[in-house]
Structure 1
Amino acid sequence: MKKSHKATVHIQVNDINEYSPVFKEKSYKATVIEGKKYDSILKVEAVDADCSFQFSQICNYEIVTPDVPFTVDKDGFIKNTEKLSYGKEHMYKLTVTAYDCGKNRASEDVLVKISVKPTCKPSWQGFNKRIEYEPGTGSLALFPSMHLETCDEPITSIRANVELETNHIGKGCDRDTYSEKSLHKLCGASSGTIELLPAPSNSANWTVGLPTDNGHDSDQVFEFNGTQAIKVPDGMVSTSLKEPFTISVWMRHGPGAHEKETILCNSDKTG
């Protein structure tokens, strides 16, 4: 029995598209700043277990969620199609799928979360421009909740100027502009305010002998030269002051220096 020569047979195995794309991550997330258009926000990536070049390559990505301001290209890069607003939406949730070049869809779509961060400017925050204060109520914390927003930027120095203004016409408690009675009202003096140095009158005569600057009765200015004083009559001020009280004085010091000067005193009957 004769045999023929041995022959080599070449068998080509064609790959079939038996696997679907699988995303490398279970989910993706990113943060963007409002009012800005990005060339790329993040990249999603899927792989395919098929062996052939045709079926193992990812040819296309697609955003399944409708009506969202984002697109994804064939390489998986996601970008926004319009400027985003924090006031309109704080976070977008997108479902993205992938296709291999044999048009097999990903076995499981992936969730992409994109947070929108409001535009940040370094500034002082947490304070009110208007503050209500009732005279005689003691100290008041002006800015108890104030804080500096640094926008995660390094700060080398801080400088702040605080300027307080009244809502009155003019300059608020201005001694040179307003009369004594006007100042009581303007500066918020309480209704129980007592005038210790009133302009001389029939009912108030204890300032009669004091030298004056010849001003008007409503804003009389008295001069004390160090050799004289006045006594406020008994009964003008209560001797049982249980609550905190305030004494207000407008004074301009004259020439010369003294070791001791008494502005106001209260003593027993022996002096």
Structure 2
Amino acid sequence: ELFPGRWASLSEGLPAFSKPCLCDLVTTADVGAVSVGIPSGCGGQQGQLGRRWRDEGEGREGEICAFKIHGQEAPFEAVVLNRTSGEGVLRAKGPVDCETQKEYTFIIQAYDCGAGASGASWKKSHKAVVHIQVDDVNEFSPVFREPVYHAAVMEGKIYDSILQVEAWDQDCSPQYSQICNYDIVTSDTPFAIDRNGNIRNTERLSYDKKQRYEVMVTAFDCGQKRATESVAVHIDVKPVCKPGWQGWNKQVDYDPGTGSKQLFPKMHLETCDSPLSAVRAMVELQTSHIGKGCDRETYSEKSLQKLCGAASGSTDLLPAPSASTNWTASLLTDSGRDCDLIFRFDGRQAANVPERVVPQNLTDQFTIATWMKHGPSLGLRAEKETLLCNSDKTEMNRHHYSLYVHNCRLVFLLRRDFTQVDTFRPAEFHWKLE
């Protein structure tokens, strides 16, 4: 209801307000002002009007026939409900919007039925001023002013505020148009945000650990309506300036036969704005030893077997050449640590291990240990580079088990005995080589 009340006719026969207080809102005695409120976005909202007699009139002169609204084109209308009691309704003719207009002020008068059917000589009441305030409805969600926020911080430092995000709301009332809270949606981030949108870090950041953080932030208005879309905040971590050579790596990969190559194309000397008197640089290159740079060269063969957990009864398939182990005599070799031999395979030679040395069929539990430095393949990419293979004697076209490199993956093939094919079992295992 907009407001309840009554209209009355004074002794002079003119309709008038019967009491100065309508809907607990004061109507002043001199101007008859009325203040009411209706929800935003609602149509058909109405309140009652009434009347009572204070004169000796009878018949049509004692009835209220119409209410008329004067002034601006307000989207309201007043309709008589009961001519005798003078009660009526004031209602909105259509939806009203607080964001378009917050208040309406207009004049209303009551007309009695004392004249003829034409109504030309109807008597009317004094003018009453009606104030209508449109109550806001929380219909809009908060929206951030920027599509993306960017900031940069120095590593190892705690900031009170890295940057401030800001959202706004289209609602007209302070309750729904103000932003009361912000929240970080991304979990497990070293950042926090306060109710004013200030983002700070909760721990010291490290450039070596992570160079950029992307944090998603949302906002809530004071009616606890959440933003429809969160905003992304990108925070870059800048390293602390350290004097010295920057942009170089201790290891450089080089493919033989590819010609000249720049070792450190991005290398530069960082002085941190300090004066520089002289520069001295020395580059040391290691030898082209076949196993140089591999972890294998750090330990002996027996130490490697112990570190990697190889079984004590392991069989060495590539032993040093001797009278009883002559199948490695034709292989290319290179001296290793503690007199261990390093064998080189280029795809044109292989070692045929005797049957008495290598097991023909593997059990459910076994270990194959190999230490290998793999270079670039000289053949087609689809070719298999076999390390170990156990095959049929006839034409050697069926492999019982095989360990090989194929398309940058280490693959192990295992076919079970014929008596074990009653169930499906995995036959190939793949590991990606870095």
Q: TM-score w.r.t. structure 1 length?
A: 0.49
Higher strand proportion: 2
Larger C-alpha radius of gyration, 1 or 2? 2
Q: TM-score, normalised by structure 2?
A: 0.31
